[in-house]
Structure 1
Amino acid sequence: MELNNKLEAQQFEIKNFTYDLPENRIAKYPLAERDLSKLLVYHNGEISEDIYRNLDKYIFEKSIFIFNNTKVVQSRLYFNNSTGGKIEVFCLEPSEKNHEPSMAMMKKTCVEWKCLIGRLDRWKEKVISINTKDISLDAEILERDGNVFTIRFSWQPTSFSFAEILEHFGAMPIPPYLKRESEEIDVSRYQTVYAEQQGSVAAPTAGLHFTNQIFEKIKSKNAIVDYVTLHVGAGTFIPVKSETLEGHQMHSEWIEVAQETILNIVAQISDEQTNKNVIAIGTTSLRTIESLYWMGVKANQNMSASIDELEVKQWDAYELQQSLTASDALNCLLAWLKRNKIEKIICKTQLLIVPSYQLKIANALITNFHQPSSTLLLLVAAVVGDDWKVIYDYALKNDFRFLSYGDGSLLFDNKRNKN
């Protein structure tokens, strides 16, 4: 029986997971064509490079690709106070009253949302408003928790959903490290071509490179394409500021996974002929499917558990026993779904993946190049080990573009991949 090591994970020093990222290596805008972005391929310790359009050359027959189909909402709202001063309201996630983002986006009349506020000192009135010829939006602060405010939004006409209100008044929340205001190009390009479930405040950027042409190519190799949803929160941009991970609070995010998707993954990892080729498109997809394993572990321990009790907490992967195989864990989760007559997992995950973590379900990751001192970089190091330094050094020396609009990589977990 393999036991986890919470202490080891907590003592990782973030100073060992940083690098010098020159400002001119950060891609401020996307390329004209999505799939012409450069692709670094890391397999069996070897590095090669190509472009995303040729991704099919590097995948195996009958692989399963897991994409995150979340949709970025135009969550930056700009109000003016009575004297004309600008106030920015950044919508993070629905309050607990409204539950998960996709459903909250469909609400009409009013919603309560957790938000950040820029230029709070200008908010003098009880209610501030935005008005156009046909639509008006009011905002009122209900409570404050540190830097996060719960705001009640209400609007006229009430026939509009909150998603439609944000589309009408909001701006795309491009990452702060781009150091520019959002522009028209961001509305389409800071969004995957398969985005569907509204609720993210940041794009699952590994998917920005994919086009219909790529989908056709990978399907021609008998690959399965499936989708999960993780609504990306603003916490994805927060660097680890403590010296060790023990002092870092991992952000919690909503996930949605259909029972059919879990069945597809089980079929894939149970087929010895495919050698468990489960490719996660982006760190969000990876965290989502890995969270399913730990939910299965919890379901195995208590089939009467509530969905809240199955939620994955920050240190679960380093405290829970992991004697179950991936197939057994997922089958336990499927049994729990059947017992509770539930067709789709909808809950939160706080799963933190660091270098001591052993991937349970995925064995390859497609991802962009991430910020220094970030939990995303730690996740990459969990997949490729210390070779993350070699990979990033190669990318820096060979003109790869970094961060959200930058180039990307296909990284194989060599500990599990035998091809």
Structure 2
Amino acid sequence: MKVELFDFELPESQIAQVPLEDRTASRLMVLNKDTGDIEHTTFGHVKNFLQKGDCLVLNDTRVLPARLFGIKQDTGAKVEVLLLKQIEGDCWETLVKPAKRLKVGTTLQFGDGLLTATCIGTSEHGGRTLEFHYEGIFYEVLDSLGEMPLPPYIKEQLDDRERYQTVFAKERGSAAAPTAGLHFTEKLLDEIRGMGVHVAFITLHVGLGTFRPVSVDDINEHEMHAEYYQMTEGTARLLNEVREKGGRIITVGTTSTRTLETIARDHDGRFQEASGWTDIFIYPGHEWKAIDGMITNFHLPKSTLIMLISALAGRENVLNAYNTAVQQGYRFFSFGDAMLII
């Protein structure tokens, strides 16, 4: 299947640069995955499409202030480092710019020496393994020096870094936000619970895959980068009960979707306590085992994310919905509007 089949025209002016003041004020497109029918509303009304006994599944990962700006200790040359994954102890997989001249053994300095790092390994796509050195607690040092790793298509400065966190973010470790969850407030979640809808949480730390474009012509040749996930025994038990009682499982975001599909695939369609690394790549033809619907943002053309939702709702339905969103002036990507597929 060709990557070009998932392309669409998007004016740059419709790429949202800043979040709305009210998280629930974004627009919501409701797409019927069977018929392709479309309905327009606002996100605060998402509860109108949920039913008692359903279960929303959200990703509680917390984004690290993972972008660091520093210098090479020997030359003073400026460098930018993006933390992607903690390997072990103080060793991290990172992306470095510029990477070509950063050789093994090079020492980097951040914040006038408050934090230093030594390059101990290299990989493709500008990847470097860095070992960090500091006094105190690493995450406290990172909070004082790091910046939020906003996607490259966002050019505006983010004044409040909490706006790139969900209100339920808890488990530190992500290099990017699970952006579909940014639309929820605690008030809205309480209202949803009050309807008899279950709210469950999983963890998937978003990593390098978010930053890697599909660089092959045939999507079957694309390799996903592995990301760490975790599901508790309580969440697994709840999801199995919801399924047994005929409720719908509706994931919030592609990260939650990939986590549930990974676990259900590995356990004969059932959920159980699990953790590990997933590189699952979902595209049209995927045999769904875990979910009945999904809340998601509007994604990049030719991305693995638009391929995933096309697997759920059909490529033609999705592209028609995206073209409609462009015509209707919807806001796209991380700080943009949302879609509910049911």
In which range does the TM-score fall when normalised by the shorter chain? over 0.9
Distance 1:209 1:58 in 2: 16
| 1:359-370 → structure 2 map (5 Å cutoff) | 359-370=288-299
Instruction: Name the residue aligned to 1:28.
Output: 17
Q: TM-score, normalised by structure 1?
A: 0.77
Deviation at 1:262, TM superposition (A): 0.7
Code of the residue aligned with 1:47 in structure 2: it is I
Q: 1:40·1:48 contact (CA, 8 Å) conserved in 2? A: yes
Distance 1:232 1:189 in 2: 17
Q: 1:174-227, CA deviations, whole angstroms, 9 ceiling, x for partnerless residues?
A: 0011135x4323x11111000000011110000000001211221121011010
Distance 1:371 1:229 in 2: 23
Deviation at 1:231, TM superposition (A): 0.3
Deviation at 1:123, TM superposition (A): 5.2
Q: 1:269·1:361 contact (CA, 8 Å) conserved in 2? A: no
Code of the residue aligned with 2:95 in structure 1: it is L
Instruction: Name the residue aligned to 1:398.
Output: 328
Q: 1:203 is paired with a residue of what secondary structure?
A: coil
Instruction: Name the residue aligned to 1:341.
Output: none
Q: 1:361 is paired with a residue of what secondary structure?
A: coil
Q: 1:178 is paired with a residue of what secondary structure?
A: coil
- Asked if residue 184 in structure 1 is aligned to residue 176 in structure 2, the reply is no
Distance 2:98 2:28 in 1: 40
- Asked if residue 410 in structure 1 is aligned to residue 329 in structure 2, the reply is no
Code of the residue aligned with 1:25 in structure 2: it is Q
Instruction: Name the residue aligned to 1:113.
Output: 92
Instruction: Name the residue aligned to 1:306.
Output: none
Q: 1:68·1:281 contact (CA, 8 Å) conserved in 2? A: yes
Distance 2:96 2:159 in 1: 23
Distance 1:58 1:361 in 2: 19
Distance 1:279 1:377 in 2: 17
Say which of 28, 35, 39 aligns to 1:39: 28
Instruction: Name the residue aligned to 1:91.
Output: 83
> Which 5+ residue runs of structure 2 have no aligned equivalent?
none
Code of the residue aligned with 2:12 in structure 1: it is E
Q: 1:85·1:122 contact (CA, 8 Å) conserved in 2? A: no
Q: 1:184 is paired with a residue of what secondary structure?
A: coil
Q: 2:15·2:331 contact (CA, 8 Å) conserved in 1? A: yes
Deviation at 1:121, TM superposition (A): 6.0
Instruction: Name the residue aligned to 1:149.
Output: 128
| 1:7-406 → structure 2 map (5 Å cutoff) | 12-43=1-32, 44-81=35-72, 84-95=76-87, 98=88, 111-120=90-99, 126-131=106-111, 136-146=114-124, 147-156=126-135, 159-160=136-137, 162-180=138-156, 182-185=157-160, 187-272=161-246, 274=247, 277-297=248-268, 326=269, 329-330=270-271, 334=272, 344-385=273-314, 386-406=316-336
Q: 1:81·1:122 contact (CA, 8 Å) conserved in 2? A: no
Deviation at 1:74, TM superposition (A): 0.5
Identity %: 33
Deviation at 1:45, TM superposition (A): 2.8
Deviation at 1:257, TM superposition (A): 0.5
Code of the residue aligned with 1:203 in structure 2: it is A
Distance 1:243 1:63 in 2: 39
Q: TM-score, normalised by structure 2?
A: 0.94
Aligned CA RMSD, in angstroms, stands at 1.7
Q: 1:24 is paired with a residue of what secondary structure?
A: helix
Structure 1 segments (4+ residues) deviating >6 Å: none
Q: Which moved more, 1:114-123 or 1:395-404?
A: 114-123
Distance 1:28 1:91 in 2: 23
Distance 2:18 2:177 in 1: 14
Distance 1:183 1:402 in 2: 17
Distance 1:393 1:213 in 2: 32
Q: 2:102·2:119 contact (CA, 8 Å) conserved in 1? A: no
Distance 2:254 2:224 in 1: 14
Deviation at 1:118, TM superposition (A): 0.9
Code of the residue aligned with 1:143 in structure 2: it is G
Distance 2:114 2:333 in 1: 36
Q: Which has the higher helix share?
A: 1
Q: Which has the larger Rg? A: 1
> Which 5+ residue runs of structure 1 have no aligned equivalent?
1-11, 99-106, 298-325, 335-343, 413-419
